[in-house]
Amino acid sequence: MSRPTSEQRLANKHAFFRSDFDKIQAAVRDVRIQCLSDRRFYSIPGAQWEGPVGEQFENKPRFEFNKTHLAVLRVVNEYRNNRITVDFVPKDGSQADELADTCDGLFRADEQDSGAQEAYDNCFEEGTSGGMGAIRLRARYENEDDDEDDRQRIAIEPIYEADTCVFFSLDGKRYDKADAKRCYVLSSMAPTEYEEEWDDDLASWPKDISHAEFDWNTPDVVWIAEVYEIEEKTELVHFFRGIALGDDEANELELTAAELDQPGKLEELTATGFKKVREKRRTVKRVHKYIMNGARILSDEGYIAGTCIPVIPYYGKRWYVDGIERCQGHVRLARDAQVLDNMIKSWLAEMASRFDIEKPIFTPEQIAGHAQMWADDAVKKYPFLLVNPILDAAGQQVVSGPVAYTKAPNMPPAMAALAQLAGQALEDMLGNQQAGEQLQPNQSGKAVELIQQRLDMQVFIYIDNFKKTVKRMGEVWQSMAKDLLVEPGRRMKTVDNADQTGTVELQKPMVDADSGEAYLANDLSRAKFDVVPDVGPSSSSRRAATVRALTGMLGMTADPETQTVLTSMVMMNMEGEGMNDVRAFYRNKLVRMGVIEPTEEEKKQLAAEAQNQKPDPNAEYLAAAAAKAKADEALAVARVGETHAKTVATLVKVQGEVQAGAIALADALTPGPIQEAPAKPATPTEFTQPGGDL
C-alpha cells in the first residue's frame, strides 16, 4: 500500500480537525455563551437590559446602577496591586543555583520586552468577569528588522475574548490543560481581507461547510484557526556525563539518535570529557502547528519550540458537571439581583417623574380654548390660568374648579421590601464594599486589616487560580527556552526582582573554583527546575506592607547599625514619583554594608573601586603606629633576652673562678701529690648560688 501524499495527509488532518472541533464546540457552546453574556453584562452600557426584561421595559426608563462593574474592578485592582511572577527553584531544594537565577532574570526580561502585563491584565479581567481568559507564548526574532539575525526570544501575548476563540480537546481535564492533545485558537477576518491574504476564493468552499456545527464562513466574517497538536513518538535517548564535575547529574547530557548522528558530535563529546553512561527508550512530545479554515489546511507550520502547547487558560471558577467543563466569573451569580435592582429603581424613577405634582382634571367645556395655555404653564409659568365657566340648567354661571386631581400611586409595601432584598443580595454576591472602604475614626489598624482580609477571602479564588495559570506559563517558557536559547556566547538582558537590568552570557566557559575544572555556565539546555508562583497579599502591595513592617521594627531596636539597615530598607521599598534614584542609593548603601548580595555588575564595580581607592592618611598613620609599636615590643623582648644571656655568662664565669680558687687552696693544704680528675666546666643548670656550699 502506497504512502499518502502530503496533500492527502493534510486533507485527512483537516477532516479530523473539523470533526474534533465540532464536538468540542458543541459540548461547551452554552457555557461559553454565558461567559460572553457576563462580560457584556458588566462592561457594555445597556447590556443589562438585553433579553425579555428589556422588552418589557420598552419605551420606559431603563436605568443601570452597575454594581457588578465596581465589584469586578475591585478584584482586578487587587491583582494589579500584587503582580504574580514565577520563581525557578532547583528540584533538589537547594537555594544557590546560578542557572535558576539566570532563568528568573531571562523570564522577567521577556515579560518586560513583550509587554506581558497587557496579556496578564486582559486574561485576568476576562476570566474574573466572564469565567475564562487565556495567554499565549510565541517565539519571535530578537531583532525583527535584521534579516540576518535569527536569534529568538519568547514573547508573552494576550488572547482577546478567549471564551469565544480558545478551545482545548475534550481529553484535557486538568485546570492548566497540560494533558490536552490539541488546542484551537480562532481568529476572525473580513472576507475581502481573507481573500487578499490567503489568495483563496470563498465561493470555492465545499457546501458542507455551511452544514457544520460551527459556521466557518458568514457574509461578514471568515474564521481561521491555529491548531496546536501534541505528537508523541518513542525514540532512543543516549545519556552522556561529563567528567569535569564528577558525578554531578546537572552535567549530564541527553542526546537523541538523530542528534548523536550529526557529523563530529561523538568526537566533540569525547574531546570535552563526556562519556556515555546509559541509554533508554522514552516517549518524546513535540508540538505541531497548523493553520486551517473551514475548507482546508492553509499552512503546515511544522514543529514549534518546546514540548507544551503554548496556550494557557485561566478560569475564574471551574468545575465539571455531567462530564462537561463549566466555568463562571464574579458576575454570574449577581446578575439576577442586579437586574432586579435596576428594574425597581427604574420604576421608582418613572413614578417620580410622572407624578411629581397633582394635575387638575376638567370637563371638555371648561378647558376648551385654554388647553395650550395649561400645557405651556410648566415652561412659561403664567401668573394665572383660565377655564371656561360651567352653566346650570337655567343658564346661570356656576363658579367651579377642577372636577378632581390626579394622585401619585402609593408604593406597595412589597416593593420596598423587594428593593431592600435586591440591595442585600448584591452585597451578599459581590461582597460588602462599604465595610472595607469606610474607616471609623477610632478603629484600630488590626481591625482594619481583619476587615480587609475578610473581603479578600471573597475574591481569593481568582488570585489563586491565576497563580496556577502563571505557574503553567513558567513551565511552558522553560520548555521553549531549552530549544531557543542555546547559542554559545550569546549575551542577553536579564531583570532582577528589584527591576534592575543585567546581562548574562549563554554557555559561558567557566572554571570551578574548588576543583579547578572547566564547565559551561548559563547552559539552558540543562534547565530542569520546579516553577513556583510568587504572589503577595491581596489587601495591599507588598512594598507597602514591607514599609509598614519595617517601620514598626524601628522602634524595637536601639542598635544604630540595625536602625541604619531598617531605614535603608524602608527607603528602598518606598513608592512615589522620582524614587528610583533614592532606591538605588540606599541599595548601594546596603550592598556596601554587606546586607544585600551584590550582582555581578556591582561586584565588578566594588572591585574596581577597591583597586583605585587612595589610602586614607589616618588609616596609614594608625597602621604605621601599630607597626612601630609592634617593632618596639619585639626590640624590648630582644633586649631582655640579651641581658639575661649576659647575666648567665657572668655567673658562669664567676662560678669557674670560685672553683679554680678552691682547687688551688686544696693543693696548698695537702702535703703529697693528689691525683685529680679533670675539672668539669660548670653549666648554667649546675650553677650554685654564690655564698652557697661548694
- Whether residue 470 has pLDDT greater than 80: yes
| Identity of the highest mean pLDDT range in 257-266, 324-333, 677-686 | 324-333
pLDDT in the model for residue 455:
54
pLDDT at 452 over 60: no
**Under a CB-based contact definition with an 8 Å cutoff, are residues 470 and 533 in contact?**
yes
pLDDT at 490 over 80: yes
pLDDT of residue 250: 47
Residue 278, H or E segment = strand 274-292
pLDDT at 654: 67
Residue with cell 664567676: 654
691 falls in which pLDDT band (50, 70, 90)?
very low
Counting every residue written for the chain, the total comes to: 694
Q: Which of 136-150, 421-435, 541-555 has the highest mean pLDDT?
A: 136-150
Helix, strand and coil percent figures for the chain, each rounded to 5? 50, 20, 30
pLDDT at 425 over 80: no
Please report, as a single letter, which amino acid is at residue 392.
D
> Is the CB of residue 154 less than 8 Å from the CB of residue 137?
yes
Q: What is the pLDDT of residue 259?
A: 79
* Alpha helices, DSSP H, located in 229-333: 257-260, 265-271
Q: Where does residue 607 rank: exposed (0-12), middle (13-18), buried (19+ CB within 10 A)?
A: exposed
Mean pLDDT of the chain: 80
For residue 682, pLDDT over 50 is answered with: no
What is the pLDDT confidence band of residue 291, given thresholds at 50, 70 and 90?
very high
| Mean local confidence (pLDDT), 248-264 | 73
User: Where is average pLDDT lowest: 26-35, 275-284, 539-548, 676-685?
Assistant: 676-685
Residue 395 backbone class (left: φ over 0; alpha: ψ -120 to 50; beta: rest):
left
pLDDT above 60 (res 439): no
Max avg pLDDT among 139-148, 252-261, 303-312: 303-312
* Range 227-254 average pLDDT: 74
Output 650 or 53, whichever has higher pLDDT: 53
Q: What is the pLDDT of residues 593-648, one digit of tens each?
A: 888 877 767 777 777 777 776 666 666 666 777 777 777 777 777 777 777 677 76
* pLDDT score for 539: 37
Provide mean pLDDT across the span 120-133.
Answer: 95
Task: Out of 127-141, 341-355, 360-374, 630-644, pick the least confident.
Answer: 630-644
Instruction: Say whether pLDDT at 441 is over 70.
Output: no
Give the least confident one: 181-185, 516-520, 569-573, 611-615: 611-615
Spans of all domains in the chain: 6-333+457-511, 357-407, 541-612, 617-686
Provide the pLDDT for residue 436: 47
Looking at per-residue pLDDT, the higher value among 126 and 645 belongs to 126
Q: What is the pLDDT of residue 421?
A: 77
Mean pLDDT of 324-344: 90
Residue 453 reports pLDDT greater than 50: yes
Tens-place pLDDT, residues 35-82 = 999 999 999 999 999 988 888 888 888 888 888 998 898 889 888 888
Residue 164 pLDDT: 93
> 515 with 116: CB under 8 angstroms?
no
Contacts 24+ apart (CB under 8 A), 667-672: none
Please tell me the distance from the alpha carbon of residue 333 to that of residue 343, in angstroms, as a whole number: 17
| pLDDT over 80 at 34, yes or no | yes
